[in-house]
Amino acid sequence: MKKTFKLFIISGLVSAALFSCKQKPAEESSNPFYGAYNTPFEVPPFDKIMAKHYVPAFEKGMTEGRADIKAISENKEKPTFENTIAALDKSGELLSRVAMVFFAQASAATSDSLQKIEMDMSPALSAYNDEMLLNPGLFSRVKSVYDNQAEFSLDAEQKFLLENLYKGFIRNGANLDKKDQDTLKAINQKLSVLSVKFSQNVLAETNGFKLIVNKEDLAGLPESVISTAAETAKAAGQEGKWAFTTQRPSIFPFMTYSPNRELRRQIYDAYTNRGNNGNEYDNNTVLTEIIKLRADKAKLLGYKTYANLVLEPRMAKVPENVFDLLNNLWEKAIPVAKNEVAEMQMIIDKEGGKFKLEASDWWYYSEKLRKQKYDLDDNELRPYFKIDNVREGLFTVVNKLFGITLAPIANIPLPHPDVQAFEVKDADGSHIGVLYMDFFPRESKQQGAWCGGYRGYHVVDSKAVTPVVTVVFNFTKPSGDLPALISLEEASTMYHEFGHALDGLFNRHTYNQTYVATDFVELPSQILEHWCTEPEVLKMYAKNYKTEEAIPDKLIEKINNSGYFNQGFETTELVAASLLDMKYHTIESPAVVDIQKFEKEYLTSIGLIPEIKSRYRSTYFTHIMGGYDAGYYSYLWAAVLDNDAFEAFKEKGLFDRTTAESFRRNILEKNGIMDAMQMYVNFRGRQPAIEPLLRFRGLLQDKSKN
């Protein structure tokens, strides 16, 4: 997942804002946001930034931003690209700088203070955003440049920026009358508050549950999982017991290995009912309001549905194209998933279980099935996936592909003490940027994995400003004498987010503002995942943490043979979540929905089998609060691209530098400043085909392995 913390003038994705706060002159002079950072590579001075600095910096940034916009909109000179579009791009520099730091920290290292800032002040920043989007003088100048662009000899990047900027104003209400603009402002402010509340509720629910067990309940669990659970219990004041949480590194090993069916059901119910417990963190009413407000917003702006509004600038363009892809995959995945259910039910029956497989049983019995069919289990693999080795193997892969190197940086401010910092250099030794890597769960961090940034690449006075990128994970922690031994899935996730990081590090755009199609943004991340399990690559990094011996060929063969294993389940739960997202956002206004009733009836109507739940149920579906609204399908849309693109490497060679250079120049450097399909065609020489994806997921019967 890619999170963007930059303050977007046109996107309307800003989710925090500020009220008045008095500040003494001495405090102003000590605010780290106000001057040069004076840190290595000019990264944010995290060691000096405190919660009290954000509100004053936001307010000062808004004051400066308003002055910038006023100067542009009241300029008496004829509108040109430079005095209007380029000037707008440079406006609000302080506001953008503080926003990038704040939102990154609010996701990965939050606190009561930051949560209060995020919640209490969101309406003001939303209002500020609307001030620009709905400024008639500013829009008049933008429209003038757009209408007369032939006069300005614009290059391709400038034309792309202008096109998207102008249309972004339209999609955000610039053509509405005053009454409708006021209505839109009210909707945007409400949405900004509700979206923050939704995500904070999910975090609270995640942190609020612990399954406390005794020693007899640890049967079947790996040593590393038991050790971590003991530390979690101790931290919760339950020393001598073991605690499991709904964070992924805790719940899913428990679900996979614990033979205690009742405990599996208990923790899974807690996981799937986050935000749906009728307490102060319940998200049903919150989501109902969000869905209605989004539908109302779309209608106000002249669109049939909210999905029509947000899909317009993406590759998919309209909801029908998304549903076509999802329904195609659904029809192929459901029969495979049903076959997987039958195979696991046979195991249950053979063991004398006398019960039907339930959703909370899936991980336990699928692991048994994998061992039965391929003689492979996660416990056998984990010793070869020490997190440091996986990271270094990843660094070797990108070095062989692109020639870049990553070296640890000492004595640099860190966004959290657990974070590691690296300098990224090009093949010629020149500085590319700084990369932060944040690996382990904590209560101050949202669940999942994502890539964000503290600074994006751009050019100021002909000088390049280099990026500062962060990748954030929730991986299995080290415990006791055991190092962090991660799963193969977690290793793949590291590659995924690093692909996003490469996108940020390699991007070469002149201006701050870029326009990345959400359904294209997962291509750089998902294509890199393919290298993770290639035999040649596994030999490079998968080493036994005790002996340093490389993973044996026998295990690599098992991994390869099991490549299509569980793909019915994985595709079905992903498509189900994508369809649910689209269904919510294709509701026409007026829209008031009973969330639980709507979710149950819709998933039943499409034929989701009871043994599988949607990957994300409605009340903890945080993706659709973080820029993937009517966009969760993007992972599957991009999967068509990444599987087709990876075949180019397989055709020429896994580490073919010419192909890698083409991918870097045509896609990674241009992402956000060129039409997405044109970028892909420039790299591949043609439009993408879906067959490589179907083969990769084992959804073509003549190609699948059973």
Predicted pLDDT at 20: 29
- Could you tell me if 397 and 491 lie in one domain? yes
- Whether 374 is covered by a domain: the verdict is no
Residue ending a domain, among 486, 507, 525, is 525
pLDDT (mean) for 555-562: 94
Predicted pLDDT at 518: 93
- Whether 334 is covered by a domain: the verdict is no
Q: What angle do CA 58, 62, 64 make, to 5 degrees?
A: 115
Tokens of 235: 């931290």
pLDDT single digits (tens) 289-332: 999 999 999 999 999 999 999 999 999 999 999 999 999 999 99
Predicted pLDDT at 281: 98
The residue type of 208 is G
Predicted pLDDT at 15: 31
- Whether 297 is covered by a domain: the verdict is no
Tokens of 128: 């500020």
- Could you tell me if 510 and 417 lie in one domain? yes
Q: pLDDT: is 4 or 684 the higher one?
A: 684
Predicted pLDDT at 591: 77
CB 6 within 8 A of CB 47: no
Predicted pLDDT at 124: 84
- Whether 370 is covered by a domain: the verdict is no
- Could you tell me if 147 and 214 lie in one domain? no
CATH number, domain containing residue 505: 3.40.390.10
- Could you tell me if 394 and 466 lie in one domain? yes
CB 492 within 8 A of CB 610: no
Q: How confident is the model at residue 26 (pLDDT cuts 50, 70, 90)?
A: very low
pLDDT (mean) for 240-254: 96
pLDDT single digits (tens) 65-117: 999 999 999 999 999 999 999 999 999 999 999 999 999 999 999 999 999 99
pLDDT value at 28 more than 90: no
Predicted pLDDT at 29: 65
Predicted pLDDT at 474: 95
Q: Are strands 211-213 and 242-244 parallel, antiparallel or unpaired?
A: antiparallel
- Could you tell me if 404 and 502 lie in one domain? yes
Angle between helices 122-133 and 178-208 (to 10 degrees): 150
pLDDT (mean) for 643-647: 98
The residue type of 585 is H
Q: How confident is the model at residue 701 (pLDDT cuts 50, 70, 90)?
A: low
pLDDT value at 136 more than 50: yes
CB 612 within 8 A of CB 313: no
Predicted pLDDT at 379: 85
User: How would DSSP label each residue in 227-251?
Assistant: HHHHHHHHHTT-TTSEEE-SSHHHH
- Could you tell me if 477 and 392 lie in one domain? yes
Three-state secondary-structure class, residue 468: strand
pLDDT value at 23 more than 50: no
Predicted pLDDT at 22: 35
Instruction: Provide the phi-psi class of 92: left if phi over 0, else alpha when psi is between -120 and 50, else beta.
Output: left
Q: Which domain holds residue 220?
A: 209-272
pLDDT single digits (tens) 119-132: 887 888 989 999 99
Lowest mean pLDDT among 24-28, 410-414, 609-613: 24-28
pLDDT single digits (tens) 325-377: 999 999 999 999 999 999 999 999 999 999 999 999 999 999 999 999 999 98
Q: Which residue matches tokens 């955000």?
A: 172
- Could you tell me if 155 and 234 lie in one domain? no
Which residues are part of the catalytic machinery? Answer: 497
How many beta carbons lie within 10 A of that of residue 330, not counting itself? 20
Tokens of 52: 């009290």
State the DSSP code for 420. E
Which of these, 619, 598, 632, 631, lies nearest to 198 by C-alpha position?
Answer: 619
Residue ending a domain, among 226, 243, 272, is 272
pLDDT single digits (tens) 448-465: 999 999 999 999 999 999
Give the count of domains, the chain: 3
- Whether 469 is covered by a domain: the verdict is yes
User: Is the dihedral angle over the CA atoms 571, 577, 581, 583 positive or is it negative?
Assistant: positive
State the DSSP code for 466. P
- Whether 255 is covered by a domain: the verdict is yes
- Could you tell me if 131 and 238 lie in one domain? no
- Whether 162 is covered by a domain: the verdict is yes
pLDDT value at 211 more than 80: yes
CATH number, domain containing residue 163: 1.10.1370.40
pLDDT value at 423 more than 70: yes
- Whether 592 is covered by a domain: the verdict is no
Predicted pLDDT at 224: 87
CB 620 within 8 A of CB 275: yes
CB 588 within 8 A of CB 304: yes
Provide the percentage of residues in the chain whose pLDDT is more than 70.
Answer: 95
Predicted pLDDT at 119: 87
CB 96 within 8 A of CB 4: no
Residue ending a domain, among 494, 525, 556, is 525
pLDDT value at 16 more than 70: no
How far is it, in rounded angstroms, from Cα 646 to Cα 656?
A: 11
Q: pLDDT: is 1 or 200 the higher one?
A: 200
- Could you tell me if 170 and 215 lie in one domain? no
pLDDT value at 499 more than 90: yes
Predicted pLDDT at 17: 28
- Could you tell me if 170 and 30 lie in one domain? yes
The residue type of 1 is M
How far is it, in rounded angstroms, from Cα 656 to Cα 261?
A: 49
Lowest mean pLDDT among 146-150, 338-342, 595-599, 625-629: 625-629
- Could you tell me if 163 and 261 lie in one domain? no
Predicted pLDDT at 251: 97
Predicted pLDDT at 480: 84
- Could you tell me if 162 and 213 lie in one domain? no
With residue 450 as reference, give the H or E element that holds it.
strand 450-455
